[in-house]
Structure 1
Amino acid sequence: MYAFEETGVIEGTVEQVWAVATDVARWSEWDPHEEASRLDGEFVAGTTGWVKPKGAPAGPFTITAVRPEESWSSQAAIPFGRLVGTRRYEQIDANHVRLVERVEVHGPFAPLFRLIWEKGMRRDMPLTFAALEREACNRFAQHG
């Protein structure tokens, strides 16, 4: 297994950020790395979904764990293995949330993933964090 994680701090509350981050059908409206996505049920462990990242093939994923307003994990199949993602959210003061995104690559594909995709994913995670912040702030402002 190979793993890496990125951390960021954004403006907002965990409630606002959670509402946006778990609204799978709308990921492509704010996340610059997603073209399309859907969730085939409630946002709970065991629910499956589908995502089409920009520049990568589309595929199914399964939510594997949910701790409301704290963390969630998902996994997707990759050749000869699986990709596991965990996202954590922590309110650090009245107006800021710490985000941690961990990516694990299981199976023989891990060294190739590290060589080809890790650098780009690490570079792009702050863009996704910033987009999540904008969307959470915009939705809250619209709904007061």
Structure 2
Amino acid sequence: MGQPHSIAISAAPQAVFARYEAVETWPRWDPEVLEVYLPEGLLAGARGWLKPRKGPKSTIIVTEVDHGRSFTVESPLPFGTLRFHHRLEATDTGCTTTHWISFTGPLAFLFAMTAGRSIEAGLPQTLAGLKAECEGTEPPAPSSAQT
């Protein structure tokens, strides 16, 4: 449903996954996240909340974890669900990291056309921040198109 966004990171998948597991640091490298609370950590079934830069604080539930490879977090919506998908694939120089979103439910098309566009527009900057965090470099400045 959502357009996947990928970036090459010069770090092993396990090292990148460790950044995902350090949930409290997400706001440091993801400019779209102001606060996140996931007291059980990145485990299937864990519940908490996330406050995005734009929009209300939302309930999040970790629905799938394949340690070192992928995880999915979902957020309930009226008559639907928003899912954030994260996948890591090993390469000769580190890994390729891919993020994408999907919506389900009777209003999925509406959410995809409204909130989905804004969320997808932020994925490249999120991936750039994750890359900088993992490689110990400075993240690029946000583009004016994403403000």
Q: State if a TM-score over 0.5 links the two structures.
A: yes
Rounded Cα–Cα distance in structure 2 between residues aligned with 1:11 and 1:78 = 36
Aligned to 1:85: 84
Q: 1:34 to 1:110 in 2, by over 3 A?
A: same
Task: State the percentage of identical aligned residues.
Answer: 26
- Of the candidates 92, 109, 112, which is equivalent to residue 110 of structure 2? 112
Residue 56 of structure 1 aligns to a residue in which SS?
Answer: coil
Unaligned runs of 5+ in 2: 138-147
Instruction: Name the CA distance, whole Å, in 2 between partners of 1:23 and 1:36.
Output: 13
Normalised by the size of structure 1, how large is the TM-score? 0.85
Distance 1:3 1:124 in 2: 13
Alignment of 1:18-29 (within 5 A): 18-29=17-28
Q: CA deviation at 1:60?
A: 1.2
* Residue pair 2:62, 2:72 contacting (<8 A) in 1 also: yes
2:7 equivalent in structure 1: 8
| RMSD between aligned residues | 1.8
- Counterpart residue type for residue 104 of structure 1: S
Task: Answer whether contact 1:73 1:86 (CA < 8 A) is retained.
Answer: yes
Matches of 1:65 and 1:115, distance apart in 2: 25
Cα separation, 2, equivalents of 1:67 and 1:45? 9
Runs of 4+ in 1 over 6 A off after TM superposition: none
CA contact (8 A) 1:10 1:129 kept: no
Separation in 1 of the partners of 2:61 and 2:123?
21
TM-superposed CA distance for 1:49, in Å, is 1.7
| Distance (whole Å) between structure 2 residues aligned to residue 43 and residue 118 of structure 1 | 23
Give the number of aligned pairs: 137
- 2:98 corresponding residue in structure 1: 100
Does the 8 Å contact 1:40/1:49 carry over to 2?
yes
Say if 1:114 and 1:42 are closer, same or farther in 2 by CA, change over 3 A.
closer
Contact kept, 8 Å, 2:23 with 2:41, in 1: the verdict is: no
The CA deviation at 1:8 is: 2.3
**Residue 38 (structure 1) aligns with:** 37
Q: Which moved more, 1:126-135 or 1:114-123?
A: 114-123
Q: If each structure's strand is expressed as a fraction of its own residues, which one has the higher value?
A: 1
Shift of 1:92: 0.9
- 1:123 maps to 121
Matches within 5 A, 1:131-142: 131-138=129-136
